[in-house]
Chain A
Amino acid sequence: MEYVGEHLLPGQIGHFFILVSLIASLTAAFAYFKAVQATPDAKAGWLKLARISFFTEVFAVLVIFAALLHILYYHLFEYKYAWQHTSLSLEFKYIMSAFWEGQEGSTLLWTFWHCVLGVIIIRREKQWEAPVMSVVSFAQFFLATMIIGIYVFDVKIGSNPFILLRDSGVLDEAAGMHVNFDVTQPIRADYLTMITDGNDLNPLLQNYWMVIHPPILFLGFASTLIPFAFAMAGLWTRDIKGWVTRAIPWTLFSVAFLGLGIMMGAKWAYESLNFGGYWAWDPVENASLVPWMIMVSGLHTMLIFKHSGYSLRSSFLFLALSFIFIVYSTFLTKSGVLGDSSVHAFADIGMNGQLFLFLIVFVWLPPFFAAQTNKHRLIITGVTLILSLATYFLAEKIPGFPLYVILAGIATYIVLMNKLVPSVKKEESVSSREFWMFIGSLVFFLAAMIIIFQTSLPVFNKLFNSNKAPGENDEFNYNKIQVLIAFVIGILTAITQYLKYKSTDTKSFLNKMLVPTIISAVVATFILIVVKINYDVHGMGFLINIWLALVATVYATIANAAYIWVGLKGKLKNSGGSVAHFGFGLMLVGMILSSSKKEILSWNTSGIAVPFGEDSKEKTGENLTLVKGVPMQMNDYMVTYVGDSAHPKKEQTYFKVHFKSKTSNEEFTLLPDAFVNYKGNEGLMANPSSKHYWNHDVFTYVSSFYKPTAEGDTISFKPNSININDTIFYSKGFITIEKLAAKDNLPVAGFSKSDTGYTASVKVQELNGSSYSSDLLLIRNAGKTLYQTQDTIMAQSLVLRLEDAGANSVTIGVKESNDVLEYLTLKAYKFPYINLVWAGVIFLVIGSVVAMVRRVRLLKLKAA
């Protein structure tokens, strides 16, 4: 059938080039492999073929990128990707966010960065090009299979970003899209005319950090492959030691950009989500943090090796594991296994098997390269194939089987690698830098292992059919361990730079350490006594641990800043390491301070003592209701909900909330916004808004919102049963019942002796001002209401009446006129010292980049 209005060319081009990239990357991997294995004469030929293939792959990826971008930019809704991720109202800047919102786009982004890094390797790493690029191309092949979107014997391989909406199954159940409104009939030729807009980008991703965070994060992801490939190349070519100096700059690059990408994600979470922070130990966050931590450990062991000859085996292990955990993190986020435990994992799109295969292959790749002979390599290839198939069939039958396959791969690698890699027999001196650096790397690595173990709880559930959920305080489970790690790492970061490789003279060490130690002691004491940390929610033990961690991280920050002058005589070009460590320390100090001193401003206890009435046994909450136009006290501020304005094109509302300090002249207005009733669904998706100060942020978001419809005064009396002296709340204040009197024998004409008259004296108290009194009358006979007064308190748009009366309790009907009832509930935090975190990250990244540039220069000098 011919469909009206479709643009099929971009999709056909895109999918064709996906096939090209798949074939080209496989060819490149094979040709580079042969180039390593071949005799010197044959080498040049293979290398040429490999390069042609790789550049073909680069070109193909660029075309795929452009084709998908074209589809999104022109909102070609005949493609599922465009329909699903964009809408006509989506701003141009978010077209990029829409690009990487889906799994396919994010995989493409990852592939793109591999291409860029690959080109740099071909240009710069002549000696290592063939083995390194063989590994890179092999990884590229796997990524290409993720977007190929074909079926082999009913098994779906990859998910094609260029699939048409009508082929994707989305329209299958939509009767209106089919001929004769019958879903068994084919789709109508003019179906596109009925698709007037797309599904739009998820509102939470419509944030500028979502334009920049994914590219940087995926650059970080892609960069972890390079040190891995170098380590593999070292084992493979039997140049066991030579690769380290070449790989160090790449590792520094990876540490810088993966770290930056992760923390940009944290900044996005802080600005766009409302769990009230930048880090929640969410599995998706942890999954990218762990490879970074392992990479940092690997970087340090490589430096140890370069300067002292120790720790080569650890370097091989850490670099291999770092990339393996990148693949594992891809598995975690894309397989849907985190469904119940993470708020932002991708949903399962039926690629679990393929993702797990990716993991198995890359776990068994290191043993392949570490094998002694080609025959062993063949055996390992066979074992990998058998285990992959076995996993497919046995995963359900033997609990834990996939885990054993992974662990077996890692164990095989350790055994084979230890055979190839020599270790230094002589013991390192306790006064040497390498000794303490190694302990630091090890602690950092183990911390990463603990985090990933805790994160993998849902995976263990799947593996062993168990039903374990995180504990009552999930975040605390992480924090209580990591705070101790911060203490150990803080101290080691502080002192290790002052130690010398091989061995250190105690006296000069103590001399150099003296000044930074005294300054740190003063600063830490100042923080503990003046700034104060009293976070005792989890008891005194944890608080003491926080104090210890704070002292250690302050020490790390100051000692490393001082080292730039004490140890390196202020030569900034050489002090990348110290700057990075300074930033790392500062970041940890910021994390400790901002988390332990975070305050909830919107405690519903402040200001006018509003008793909780019928819920008085309940604790006060963390949210404050603001009625439009009525100032409320919130901590040190008077806060007013001034009004709201709607986005011209979207169902997005900006709330204007005005803050005025009670103690100073400070005033400001925040504009938290929310998508209200987004896409026809009821509910609120809120984006926070913050006021930034140099030393703290005031962070607010709207937690619920009510706006009356313009249907007029249809509200009925709301009955409130209460006792004498209790209170009823209304929008601007509360109502107290002061007195209740009952009287028989009413001296009023028209009532009989058995009628009873009740009078309730009520007092209406406006929250910030006047009070009004009113007497409400009710006359009843044998439970039947004969007469009732209605009292209207105009100033408050309030109508009251007495509906029932008992011995000590009454029922008062309360009616509020519609136009006053516009309110929202607000949650507000004070985040102190949050800027230390961001500043720390910036120094960490700058320091790593400075160190990288220096290492690259040194390599050039050596080569010249």
Chain B
Amino acid sequence: MKKIHIILLVLIAGAIAVLVSFLQTTTTYDTVAIAKSKPGKFVHLMAKWDKSLPMEYDAIKNPNYLSFTAIDTLGDKVQVIYHSPKPENFELSERLVMKGKYEDGKFICQSIQTKCPSKYKDQDPSQHPGNKKDSTYNTVATVKQ
């Protein structure tokens, strides 16, 4: 066997080891109920902002404190604390992917990804809200995803 083949095998084995260890670090996409069932564990919570409940954000008092209630597709709710200003497109979003941990009755969130008109958004006609008044047609932006 050539030296180069031995090196080849060693490197490929190394790469596979790296990938296996990577798979160990993965987490899961969860609902509110499942996130609550494993407090202290890092999860990706999939939910959306419950606009019927108050949102707390006062930049004067603390620009790094956002609190709101998230509701998932099953209707479960949880209070979310996020130590940053409102993420971009927060109001526009139809869905939030929130990374964090459920602790002491709250979901402490490290980052929020808003799913809404993405940069390369494409209109989905079936989800178009329609035009409420004839003349405002052009101001209606479709929210996708």
Interface residues of A (CB under 8 A from B): 80, 84, 87, 101-103, 168-170, 172-177, 194-199, 202, 204-205, 274, 339-340, 343-347, 349, 427-428, 430, 435, 438-439, 442-443, 446, 449-450, 453-454, 457, 467-472, 477, 481, 604, 612-613, 615, 618-625, 627, 678-686, 703-704, 706, 729-731, 821, 823-825, 827
Contact = CB atoms under 8 A, between A and B. Distances in A.
Contact of B28 (A443, A468, A604): A468
B59 A825 contact: yes
Contact of B141 (A103, A619, A627, A681): A681
Contacts of B130: 173-175
Interface in B57-83: 57, 59-65, 83
Given A205-B119, A622-B64, A196 B138 contact: yes
B122 A175 contact: no
Nearest to A447: B15
Contact of B15 (A204, A435, A450, A706): A450
A481 B18 contact: yes
A275 to B, nearest CB: 10
A174 B140 CA distance: 11
A339 B145 contact: yes
B128 interface: yes
B24 to A, nearest CB: 9
Interface of B: 2-4, 7-8, 11-12, 14-15, 18-19, 22-23, 25-29, 42-44, 46, 57, 59-65, 83-86, 88-92, 97, 99, 110, 113, 115, 117-126, 128-131, 133-142, 144-145
Contacts of A443: 11
A316 B14 CA distance: 24
B56 to A, nearest CB: 11
B29 A683 contact: no
Contacts of B15: 446, 449-450
A170 B13 CA distance: 52
B91 A683 contact: yes
A224 B23 CA distance: 31
B25 A477 contact: yes
A706 B59 contact: yes
B122 A103 contact: yes
Name the residue among B91, B126, B137, B140 with the largest chain A CB count within 10 angstroms.
Answer: B137
A169 B125 contact: yes
B131 to A, nearest CB: 5
B115 to A, nearest CB: 7
B62 A346 contact: no
A197 B137 CA distance: 9
B133 A176 contact: yes
Contact of B25 (A170, A472, A679): A472
A170 B128 contact: yes
A625 B64 CA distance: 9
Contacts of A823: 59-60
Nearest to A612: B62
A423 to B, nearest CB: 10
A438 B23 CA distance: 29
Contacts of B25: 471-472, 477
A438 B4 contact: yes
Nearest to A701: B88
Contacts of A177: 131, 137
B120 A101 contact: yes
A821 B59 CA distance: 11
Given A177-B131, A343-B113, A450-B18, A469 B26 contact: yes
A177 B133 CA distance: 10
A438 B18 CA distance: 21
